[in-house]
Amino acid sequence: MTTGSLRRVGILTGGGDCPGLNAVIRAVAKSLMVKKHISVIGIEDGFQGLIENRMRELKWGDVSGILQSGGTILGTSNKANPFGNPVMQDGKIVIVDLSEQTLKHIEKWQLDAIVCIGGDGTMTISRKLMEHGVPVVGVPKTIDNDLYGTDVTFGYDTAVSIGAEAIDRIHTTAQSHHRVMLVEIMGRYAGWLTLGAGIAGGADVILIPELEYDLDIICEKVEERSRIGRRFSIIAVSEGAKPKGGELVVSRIVKDSVEAVRLGGISLKLGNEIEDRTGLETRATVLGHLQRGGSPTAYDRILATRFGVGAADLLVQGRLNQMVALRGDQIVAVPLQEVGGRTRKVPLDSPMLDVAEAVGTCLGVTR
């Protein structure tokens, strides 16, 4: 496709929602409408809308006044996949290939390209669309910050801020009751969110999936604090944290989801173990979806706007099948082939881990 032939662009949000999605939709749509007079077609509920032919043209009024609002005006789905869609048949879930009808819908709407805003799952599906001849531009989203190819995803900063605020609030009640309080933080198999919120909230112990913890070391830390008169402790624990050689705590299996496992419950389990071992009273708080809701921070609004404008620029320049990314302070393009199916974990030599330890935070291991 040449630059001048771009007339109609589809846009969708896939996977779990996160603060800043609307800011990206606004930035893509406004910059295309203003500069290039390109029609923007909103696809409802992520890839589900492409499969079911649910789309609508977005007008200026649809994308105005949404910069600060949480969620996504388009809706999303973390189940739909045109190349392997889970559907219920005779009480059982079967996977069906709906790519033919999906491609027909794209043709019917005369979409010259699609902007896919999402995380790893969305980028993997986008890559497949691209392989089927549909030009795509990706925009990296997830509170987990675990997407390969970009230094940061939008949504992460907001979720870190929510986590830090929760730790602040837990702090005062922990102090008053002389308790060990555990705050369970999302992030699936990567510890970015817990590490960020833990450092920002001054947690005494931070436990992340990348470092399998040793219960003895955690108990030693909270007992030592007790001995020196610090009669409370705060433990920031990732939902994906686990003991050395131990198991993840799974809260549910969502059978018809692309990624079926949902984590949750480690804080309660670990809290009970610490209480049994040390005799110190513990309480656990699972932050859950609070971390995905509400208004994006100023940082995320700026990043989402930069990503959105960057995606629109790639489209008008005809640089397709790329994902916009942040590298240092620059917005760059990363080939989609390089992105999907890879998780960006906290490296074991991350300066963030050194910083946490330097201020006396226990990471549940001897490094």
Active site residues: 144
**Which of these segments, 83-91, 183-191, 224-232, 278-286, binds ligand F6P (CB under 6 A)?**
183-191
Q: Measure the CA–CA gap between 109 and 41, rounded to whole angstroms.
A: 8
By CB under 6 A, the residues from 230 to 259 that bind ligand F6P are 239
Q: Position of tokens 């999303």?
A: 76
Which of 77/322 has CB closer to ligand F6P? 77
H/E run at residue 286: strand 282-286
Which of 145/282 has CB closer to ligand F6P? 145
Q: Which of 14, 149, 187, 201 binds ligand F6P (CB under 6 A)?
A: 187
Q: Which of 32, 106, 143, 325 binds ligand F6P (CB under 6 A)?
A: 143
Q: Which of 16, 118, 149, 296 binds ligand F6P (CB under 6 A)?
A: 16
Q: How far is the CB of 104 from ligand F6P (least distance, A)?
A: 29
CB 12 within 8 A of CB 115: yes
Report angle CA 20, 121, 19 to the nearest 5 degrees.
Answer: 10
Q: Measure the CA–CA gap between 113 and 311, rounded to whole angstroms.
A: 11
Helical packing angle, 21-31 and 298-317, nearest 10°: 40
For residue 186, the tally of other CB atoms under 10 A from its CB is 26
Per-residue contact track with ligand F6P, 293 to 332, x per CB under 6 A? ----------------------------------------
Q: Position of tokens 């043209």?
A: 57
Q: How far is the CB of 244 from ligand F6P (least distance, A)?
A: 22
**Which of these segments, 51-59, 62-70, 141-149, 275-283, binds ligand F6P (CB under 6 A)?**
141-149
Judged by CB under 6 A, does residue 141 bind ligand F6P?
A: no
CB 149 within 8 A of CB 291: no
Q: How far is the CB of 4 from ligand F6P (least distance, A)?
A: 38
Which of 250/365 has CB closer to ligand F6P? 250
Sheet with 233-238, side-by-side order of all strands: 205-207, 233-238, 180-185, 282-286
Judged by CB under 6 A, does residue 124 bind ligand F6P?
A: no
Question: b/e for 100-115, b at 16 or more Cβ within 10 A?
Answer: eebbebbeebebbbbb
Q: Which of 76, 85, 124, 142 binds ligand F6P (CB under 6 A)?
A: 142
Judged by CB under 6 A, does residue 292 bind ligand F6P?
A: yes
**Which of these segments, 140-148, 174-182, 227-235, 353-361, binds ligand F6P (CB under 6 A)?**
140-148
Judged by CB under 6 A, does residue 157 bind ligand F6P?
A: no
Nearest residue to ligand F6P by CB is 186
List, as one string, the DSSP characters of 15-73.
SS--TTHHHHHHHHHHHIIIII--EEEEETTTHHHHHHT-EEEE-GGGSTT-TT--S-T
Bridge partners, 57 (sequence order): 41
Write the burial class of residue 294 (CB in 10 Å: 0-12 exposed, 13-18 middle, 19+ buried).
Answer: middle
Which of 100/247 has CB closer to ligand F6P? 247
Q: How far is the CB of 111 from ligand F6P (least distance, A)?
A: 27
**Which of these segments, 51-59, 98-106, 128-136, 181-189, binds ligand F6P (CB under 6 A)?**
181-189
Q: Measure the CA–CA gap between 57 and 348, rounded to whole angstroms.
A: 46
Q: Which of 45, 144, 204, 210 binds ligand F6P (CB under 6 A)?
A: 144
For residue 348, the tally of other CB atoms under 10 A from its CB is 10
Beta carbons within 8 Å of 235's beta carbon, 6+ residues apart: 180, 181, 182, 183, 203, 204, 205, 206, 207, 218, 222, 267, 270, 274
**Which of these segments, 69-77, 137-145, 222-230, 268-276, binds ligand F6P (CB under 6 A)?**
137-145
Give the binding site for ligand F6P (CB under 6 A): 16, 78, 142-144, 186-188, 239, 262-263, 292
